[in-house]
Amino acid sequence: MIMSSPAETVSPVVTPTRAEHRPQFHPKEPAPSAAWLWPKGHIFPEMGACAHAPAAVRTYVREMLRVWDLPGLTENAELVASEITANAVTALTDPETIDEEHPQGLPRMIGDRIATITVRLRTDDVYLLIEVWDLAEGMPEHKDAALDDESGRGLAIVGALCEAYGCEPRKGGGKSVWALLKKPSVPGGRQRHQEERQ
């Protein structure tokens, strides 16, 4: 099978991550998810939309990137995945359940099932695609957080760390919020490699 790089295939969405040029959020854009782009993938099974979900997702991301030998991506990927997951948890929390015993509330019920979140990771060893699916109403939207606001920065953080990000409504309800990260190149890597060969 002939593989092409995601950068070629998703060029309308992918923009380089530079301080002066952050990617735009694509609120109705499918993730670059054609299966053949991603030789490696793994799904963290549905989990209840509980307050501990972002921490569980961080651990999962760390483990998968260790298995896939992508340590340079771990820090940013953990942060991006946990921000997106935290948003899904907030959107799926029933505010009426917030009390002393459950200060962060409990997941809503969707029909007779507890609301859940599903996370998928895919990689071609250079790019990492993080997708978080939820059935919550509403869509992610960028907020212009004031300096003293305590919230409203999650998506801005995601945008600062990824190559592209967006949200894809899913058939049957809900959506997938996705972010594409790129493995950082090792500074001086080529030079160091040449020095080692001399």
In angstroms, what is the minimal distance from the CB of 186 to Mg ion?
31
Q: Which of residues 53-92 bind ligand ADP (CB under 6 A)?
A: 83, 87-88, 90-91
CB 37 within 8 A of CB 2: no
Spatial distance between the Cα atoms of 76 and 81, rounded to a whole number of angstroms: 8
The DSSP code sequence of 167-184 is: EEE-TTS-EEEEEEEEPP
Q: Which positions from 142 through 161 interact with ligand ADP, judged by CB under 6 A?
A: 143, 151-155
Among 87, 93, 116, 123, binds Mg ion (CB under 5 A): 87
Identify what 166 binds: Mg ion, ligand ADP, none; CB under 5 to 8 Å per kind: none
Which pair of structure tokens corresponds to residue 48?
């209840």
DSSP string, 46-93: EEE--TTHHHHHHHHHHHHHHHTT-GGGHHHHHHHHHHHHHHHHHHHE
Nearest residue to ligand ADP on Cβ basis: 154
Instruction: Scan residues 4-63 and list those touching ligand ADP (CB under 6 A).
Output: none
Among 23, 32, 154, 166, binds Mg ion (CB under 5 A): 154
User: Looking at residue 125, what DSSP letter applies?
Assistant: S
Q: Does 107 bind ligand ADP (CB under 6 A)?
A: no
Among 134, 135, 176, 182, binds ligand ADP (CB under 6 A): 134
Q: Least distance to ligand ADP from the beta carbon of 117, Å?
A: 9
Burial 44-72 (b: 16+ CB within 10 A, else e): beebbbbbebbebbbebbbebbeeeebee
Report the amino acid identity of residue 9.
T
* Residue whose CB is nearest to Mg ion in the complex, by number: 154
The CB-of-131 to ligand ADP minimum distance in angstroms stands at: 12
Binding site for ligand ADP (CB under 6 A): 83, 87-88, 90-91, 134, 136, 138-141, 143, 151-155, 177
Binding site for Mg ion (CB under 5 A): 87, 154
